[in-house]
């Protein structure tokens, strides 16, 4: 990345919404098994591997450059003082050097903001664990990446054999990246605007030149070009927008949809409060083939099983604390808008609200209710999903500083303690690789996601599939759930109960035993 690239409004929003109590980075806690007889220094070997491959992911060497007076979204520019030693650190675990200690340490580090003067990512390597294991905690700002692009970075970092791959070096084309005079860009933009016919099929790909500079005049010029592009693209997308709005109005006005809308109303719970600047984290794994078998037997999908397991855990936890509401809990569920093969390091995500059927005691009935309600939620959100690509990149001068002020006021005012929650918990399911992965010869055993807790949504449950397992990562505001491992420890039992409940009649006795 040798020239400036302005952040989209969706990417930049994660910067604007960030406060000391609400960091906006995501990460993972990976567990490796060192190969027998390994005598090297895993930390140094891992750091060298990343240094040799970092050119494959230019975002790892990009830092933020703010627009003058914060009047527009910032840009990614190459960090000319990049030093990998500022991003990969050797961590140390106190006795007993086990996974529980690592989880507590990860929760503590995850609560710390990334330094915006440098590229927004960090790796921590924890050696000397039990059973010849090594822990790797990684975090990257959500402004850089979402789950889909994260999978592409995973492919860059990890290998599919114990022998590391060789990555070809890329020679930058300096001539192509030389900045152009702003007047020349203005002339080119004007001529290009009138040479291209206003064709709806071409409007989505209509691009005007940018100055790529960060001075005030260039920022104003680039924003003007962006507004022209956005207007033309919006005109080209008018038929789709009208259809989406018409479909949305039809669904909302349909009496059959009122039940679906009612199921998306979230009750107030102990989970929906203002969070502190501390985090608690825990990970747990269950069998992926067994989860898929449960989904198939119930006529649902893997994500429905993830929701049902999360619902069972939350129901049990809230019952123990006397806080289970009569109305069902709801989950905010991110949906990827990323097309297959798209590995751009940016956010392409949408979300919907789903009922967790937590008011139903029987695990099988609860899963069946979730399957039915999730289908309705997808139908209700489909028109909005079509609008998101147009809405997500709306930009206006002065918005960055205004949003940051409002985010800070919201964080300090404790409004989430009194406002009705939009959802009760965030649940996300990220598909991962099925084959075994390695890093500098060490076998990857687990990759537990470490995501974002926010004001009003103190608990986030994110799931990553890997090989034949589902790795659950529980992250919570520590003032709300100080020991989130309690919830993680409940999950295997809920998995057993759900498997026994949906098993065919002839197999239920064996499943229960």
446 catalytically annotated = no
| 77 three-class SS | strand
H/E stretch holding 419 reads none
What CA–CA distance (Å, rounded) separates 104 from 317? 20
What CA–CA distance (Å, rounded) separates 377 from 393? 24
Q: What is the largest CA-CA distance in the chain?
A: 78
What CA–CA distance (Å, rounded) separates 177 from 474? 43
Dihedral sign from CA coordinates of 257, 259, 265, 270: negative
3-class secondary structure per residue, 232-245: HHHHHCHHHHHHHH
- 482 CB-side CA count, 13 A: 1
Residue appearing with tokens 């076998």: 443
DSSP state letters, 141-195: ETTT--HHHHHHHHHHH-BSSSSPPP-------TGGG----HHHHHHHHHHHHHH
Q: List, in order, residues 6 or more apart from 153 with CB less than 8 Å away.
A: 57, 140, 145, 345
Among residues 110, 142, 446, 455, which one is catalytic?
Answer: 142
Long-range CB contacts for residues 163-168, cutoff 8 Å, separation at least 24: 163/441, 164/49, 164/438, 164/440, 164/441, 167/52, 167/53, 167/55, 167/56
CB 370 within 8 A of CB 354: yes
The structure tokens listed for 38 are 């390994």
What CA–CA distance (Å, rounded) separates 147 from 142? 9
Residues serving a catalytic function are 142
């Amino acid at each position: 990345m040798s020239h400036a690239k302005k952040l989209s409004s969706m990417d930049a929003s994660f910067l604007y919404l960030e406060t000391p109590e609400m960091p906006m980075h995501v990460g993972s806690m990976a567990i490796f098994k060192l190969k027998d007889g390994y005598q090297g220094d895993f930390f140094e070997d891992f750091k060298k591997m990343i240094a040799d491959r970092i050119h494959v992911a230019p975002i790892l060497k990009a830092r933020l450059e703010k627009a003058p007076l914060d009047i527009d979204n910032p840009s990614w520019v190459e960090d000319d003082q990049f030093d990998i030693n500022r991003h990969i650190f050797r961590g140390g675990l106190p006795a007993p050097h086990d996974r529980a200690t690592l989880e507590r340490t990860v929760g503590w580090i995850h609560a710390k903001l990334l330094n915006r003067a440098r590229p927004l990512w960090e790796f921590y390597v924890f050696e000397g664990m039990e059973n010849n294991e090594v822990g790797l905690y990684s975090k990257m700002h959500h402004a850089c990446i979402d789950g889909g692009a994260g999978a592409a970075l995973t492919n860059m970092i990890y290998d599919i054999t114990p022998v590391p791959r060789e990555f070809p070096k890329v020679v930058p084309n300096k001539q192509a990246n030389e900045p152009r005079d702003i007047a020349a860009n203005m002339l080119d933009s004007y001529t290009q605007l009138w040479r291209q016919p206003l064709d709806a099929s071409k409007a989505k790909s209509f691009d005007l030149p940018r100055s790529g500079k960060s001075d005030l005049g260039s920022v104003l010029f680039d924003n003007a070009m962006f507004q022209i592009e956005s207007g033309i693209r919006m005109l080209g997308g008018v038929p789709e927008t009208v259809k989406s709005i018409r479909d949305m109005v039809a669904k909302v006005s349909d009496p059959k949809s009122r039940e679906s809308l009612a199921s998306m109303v979230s009750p107030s719970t102990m989970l929906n409060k203002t969070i502190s600047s501390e985090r608690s984290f825990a990970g747990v794994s269950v069998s992926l083939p067994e989860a898929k078998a449960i989904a198939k037997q119930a006529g649902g999908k893997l994500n429905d099983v993830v929701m049902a397991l999360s619902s069972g855990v939350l129901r049990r936890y809230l019952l123990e604390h006397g806080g289970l509401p009569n109305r069902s809990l709801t989950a905010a569920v991110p949906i990827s808008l990323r097309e297959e093969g798209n590995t751009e390091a940016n956010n392409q995500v949408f979300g919907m609200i789903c009922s967790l059927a937590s008011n139903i005691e029987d695990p099988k009935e609860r899963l069946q209710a979730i399957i039915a309600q999730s289908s309705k939620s997808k139908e209700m959100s489909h028109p909005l999903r079509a609008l998101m690509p147009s809405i997500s990149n709306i930009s206006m001068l002065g918005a960055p500083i205004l949003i940051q002020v409002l985010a800070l006021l919201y964080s300090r005012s404790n409004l989430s303690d009194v406002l009705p929650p939009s959802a009760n918990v965030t649940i996300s399911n990220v598909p991962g690789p099925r084959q075994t992965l390695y890093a500098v010869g060490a076998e990857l055993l687990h990759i537990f996601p470490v995501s974002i807790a926010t004001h009003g949504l103190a608990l986030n449950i994110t799931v990553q599939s890997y090989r034949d397992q589902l790795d659950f990562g529980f992250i919570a505001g520590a003032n709300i759930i100080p020991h989130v491992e309690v919830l993680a420890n409940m999950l295997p039992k809920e998995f057993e109960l759900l498997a026994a409940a949906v098993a065919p009649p002839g197999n239920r006795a064996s499943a229960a035993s």
